[in-house]
């Protein structure tokens, strides 16, 4: 049995319910650019099957040229960061679990397909500035251009932290996230988010509604059983 050494958190939908803020930022951008596109919540749930904002725009409107996609995405990032920097709360249990893990000497990391500026804005907005210091390593879209479900972003975290997959536990909210973590050999616990409830989480150790009632000890037990 391997002791748990690190917890690796997904960001969107896991640390906070950010996806609707992403959706609003996309829609404001489309309006500003006079495109007449509008992503409803129902459509966005489908579009979330494609990880990454630029890839999502391209999946929705394949004929859009890459330069326009980049401009749209740049503006969307400005609007999104402004919203979350003003303060978006963490999901239940997140702050307490991070505190417990730090007190227990566990290492912490982030593995996300979103842009680094978004992660920093969210963490600092939610914590008044200290949040990003909690994580030894933050692997973002800027570091791993091939996005989840590809395991690249998780492999990068393992490589840079000098850890094996079985020494870590990932926390995710999506099918793509579960596939990315397990693809890197990392056991994963799911907290379903508003946009992922009822999705297929085959391969996850457990599917929870949130971490509000989950202590670090329970995660350690789940992790211990992941290797029989």
- Residues labelled catalytic: 10, 12
Euclidean distance between CA atoms 165 and 226, whole angstroms: 11
Q: How far is the CB of 51 from ligand XBP (least distance, A)?
A: 4
Binding flag, residue 182, ligand XBP (CB under 6 A): no
Per the DSSP assignment, residues forming a β-bridge with 191 are: 208
Q: Measured at CB, which residue is nearest to ligand XBP?
A: 53
Q: Does 11 engage in binding with ligand XBP (CB under 6 A)?
A: yes
Closest CA to 127 of 96, 101, 88: 88
Q: Considering the rule CB under 6 A, would residue 155 count as an interface residue with ligand XBP?
A: no
Residue pointed to by tokens 């579960």: 178
Closest CA to 10 of 180, 163, 220: 180
> What residues line the site for Mg ion (CB under 5 A)?
10, 12-13, 173-174
Candidates 114, 191, 196, 226: give the one binding ligand XBP (CB under 6 A): 114
Q: Is 115 in the site for ligand XBP (CB under 6 A)?
A: yes
With CB under 6 A as the contact rule, which of the stretches 29-37, 107-115, 161-169, 183-191 interacts with ligand XBP? 107-115
According to the binding rule CB under 6 A, does residue 141 interact with ligand XBP?
yes
What is the full DSSP assignment across 92-150? TTHHHHHHHHHHTT-EEEEE-SS-HHHHHHHHHHHHTT-GGGG-SEEE-TTT--SPTTS
Per-residue binding string, ligand XBP, 53-92, x by CB under 6 A, is: x---------------------------------------
111 CB-side CA count, 13 A: 38
Contact region with ligand XBP (CB under 6 A), list: 37-45, 114-122, 123-131, 194-202: 114-122
CB 227 within 8 A of CB 2: yes
């Amino acid at each position: 049995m391997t002791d748990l050494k690190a917890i690796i958190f997904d960001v969107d939908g896991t640390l906070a319910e950010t996806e609707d803020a992403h959706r609003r930022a996309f829609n404001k951008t489309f309006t500003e650019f006079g495109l007449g596109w509008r992503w409803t919540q129902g459509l966005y749930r489908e579009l979330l099957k494609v990880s990454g904002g630029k890839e999502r725009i391209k999946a929705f409107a394949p004929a859009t040229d890459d330069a326009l996609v980049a401009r749209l995405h740049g503006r969307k990032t400005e609007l999104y960061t402004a919203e979350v920097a003003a303060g978006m709360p963490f999901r239940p249990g997140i702050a307490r679990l991070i505190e417990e893990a730090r007190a227990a000497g566990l290492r912490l990391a982030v593995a996300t397909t979103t842009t680094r500026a978004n992660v920093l804005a969210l963490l600092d907005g939610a914590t008044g500035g200290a949040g990003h210091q909690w994580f030894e390593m933050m692997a973002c879209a800027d570091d791993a251009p091939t996005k989840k479900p590809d395991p690249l972003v998780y492999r990068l975290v393992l490589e840079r932290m000098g850890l094996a997959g079985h020494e870590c536990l990932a926390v995710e909210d999506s099918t793509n996230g579960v596939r990315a973590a397990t693809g890197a050999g990392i056991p994963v616990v799911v907290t379903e988010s508003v946009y992922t409830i009822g999705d297929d989480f085959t391969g996850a150790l457990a599917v929870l509604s949130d971490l509000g009632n989950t202590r670090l000890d329970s995660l350690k037990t789940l992790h211990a059983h992941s290797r029989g």
